[in-house]
Chain A
């Protein structure tokens, strides 16, 4: 089974802190994603990576950056956390190219910024 693991289930950070959310997948998937989930808004794509060191902005990249130094790992960085970034963050992965099918999700990280 595909496994996508997010390093933390719950995080509480202070305003202005630099925050790292880590995600690891074990199925050699090319594509990795970070989504943000808020009530009534569904899932919104923050960033996407289709290869090591490659990244593309999603629908709501402002205030976030990402890093993908290894194929299995995709990190989301909040450079200076703000209260409006309190949310559920979901990492996902999928196969790339024409083999791309469904996305596999991690358990989510609920981030609270105080």
Chain B
């Protein structure tokens, strides 16, 4: 079955520390991969996406993600976290020509001052 797993429900980091959020997927077709961020009470904003090509993709707000096909992973990273990064992060997968987006259950990030 197609699925997206975000194994960490909550993560707490100190401001200025590095961050890695994990995402693993199970998907039969060549995947399109996404990371979204949701601030409290808001909708989802796209951070970055991977369709093809370079497996290291850059996004907004200083985030990057690396696609590792052998591990079926698409982990999100940021070298230095800011207090404003506190939010919930969702990994999602889709494929060309389909409407179906499969979302993980999210990772809530807390940032300590």
Q: Could you tell me which A residues sit within 8 Å of B by CB distance? A: 4, 6, 9, 31, 33, 40-43, 45, 48, 50, 90, 92, 94, 96-98, 100-108, 110
Contacts and interface: CB of A to CB of B under 8 A. Distances in A.
Interface stretch (B23-31, B78-86, B94-102): B94-102
Contact of B49 (A96, A97, A101, A110): A101
A100 B46 CA distance: 15
Contacts of A101: 32, 49, 51
A101 B92 CA distance: 12
21 contacts: A4-B43, A9-B41, A42-B90, A42-B103, A42-B104, A42-B105, A42-B106, A43-B90, A45-B100, A90-B44, A92-B44, A97-B97, A98-B96, A98-B97, A100-B94, A100-B97, A100-B99, A105-B45, A106-B43, A108-B42, A108-B43
6 smallest beta-carbon distances between A and B, as pairs: A42-B105, A105-B43, A105-B44, A43-B103, A107-B43, A98-B97
A45 B2 CA distance: 14
Contacts of A90: 43-44
Contacts of B103: 42-43
B34 interface: yes
Contact of A102 (B43, B49, B90, B98): B49
Nearest to B101: A103
Contact of A41 (B49, B92, B94, B105): B105
B80 to A, nearest CB: 26
